[in-house]
């Protein structure tokens, strides 16, 4: 009888501790989500105005550089939550867990690691797939044909040039498999690979000499967390004159 009583107490304590830890993590994630949204909205208010004639954003790059010199661009997909600064990162992936104001936050930032971003044939742009729907969480929706064609255009803004990007491939695959598949391919071979890998058939895009590749975690076929699966969204990169 005493054994059963001790076991019951042990189970109650274990459950209580587990519940408290889980609740703490949920509250922590919610607070960080709120903080990330707040600072992003503040940055948009302080640095971006909409031109009344063209309805295009006018970005104050001097202000952005004064906030953080690592801000090198801005990405926007209309009618989604993707409206974020792009940060220049390096191999230590600092912005994987830090916002543009250099504060620790699990939401992280949208970032590139290529030092010659948007000037090479292919620029990879990274962002988290957050459960709260922020950052690059919507990328998985591109596997749905209706969502794809209603959100096919991506805008990239930089201090020297603005770009209109049109998606021509979207799929999910393991990161190691992807790296092995493309490591020995030249540009045209990669374009063909991306087209053939796409979950949806997309034929209305003329490929330019530069592309971007959006990357975030995918939970399709994932057996572990963190997962080695990725969503990849590939788009042409065309300068806006």
Report the alpha-carbon distance of residue 3 to residue 8 in Å, rounded: 9
26 band by pLDDT with thresholds 50, 70 and 90? very low
> pTM of the predicted model, to two decimals?
0.83
- The terminus-to-terminus CA distance of the chain in angstroms comes to 82
Distances 28 to 33, 34, 106, 188, 201 between C-alpha atoms, Å = 9, 10, 9, 45, 41
Average per-residue pLDDT for the chain: 84
Residue 113, CB half-sphere, CA atoms under 13 Å: how many?
13
Predicted local confidence at residue 37, as pLDDT: 65
Q: Which of 60-69, 121-130, 219-228 has the lowest mean pLDDT?
A: 219-228
Average pLDDT over residues 34-59: 77
CATH superfamily to which 69-239 belongs = Sortase (2.40.260.10)
Which among 62, 64, 57, 66 has a CA at the least distance from the CA of 40?
A: 64
86 band by pLDDT with thresholds 50, 70 and 90? very high
56 band by pLDDT with thresholds 50, 70 and 90? confident
Strand partners, 162: 157
Report the alpha-carbon distance of residue 143 to residue 157 in Å, rounded: 25
Predicted local confidence at residue 20, as pLDDT: 47
Q: Are strands 162-174 and 153-157 parallel, antiparallel or unpaired?
A: antiparallel
Predicted local confidence at residue 22, as pLDDT: 47
């Amino acid at each position: 009888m005493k054994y059963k009583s001790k076991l019951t107490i042990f189970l109650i304590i274990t459950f209580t501790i587990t519940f408290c830890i889980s609740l703490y993590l949920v509250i922590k994630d919610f607070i960080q989500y709120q903080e990330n949204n707040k600072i992003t909205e503040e940055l948009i208010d302080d640095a971006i105005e909409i031109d009344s004639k063209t309805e295009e954003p006018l970005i104050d790059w001097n202000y952005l550089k004064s906030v953080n010199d690592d801000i090198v661009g801005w990405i926007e997909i209309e009618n989604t939550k993707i409206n974020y600064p792009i940060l220049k990162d390096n191999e230590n992936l600092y912005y994987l867990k830090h916002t543009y104001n250099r504060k620790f936050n699990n939401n992280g930032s949208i970032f590139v690691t290529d030092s010659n971003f948007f000037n090479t044939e292919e620029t990879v742009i990274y962002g988290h797939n957050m459960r709260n729907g922020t950052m690059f969480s919507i990328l998985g929706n591109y596997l749905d044909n209706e969502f794809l064609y209603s959100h096919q255009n991506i805008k990239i803004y930089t201090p020297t040039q603005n770009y209109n990007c049109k998606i021509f491939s979207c799929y999910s695959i393991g990161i190691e498999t992807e790296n092995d598949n493309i490591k020995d391919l030249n540009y045209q071979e990669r374009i063909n690979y991306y087209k053939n890998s796409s979950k949806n058939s997309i034929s209305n895009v003329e490929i330019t000499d530069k592309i971007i590749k959006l990357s975030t975690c995918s939970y399709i076929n994932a057996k572990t967390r963190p997962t080695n699966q990725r969503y990849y969204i590939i788009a042409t990169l065309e300068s806006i004159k």
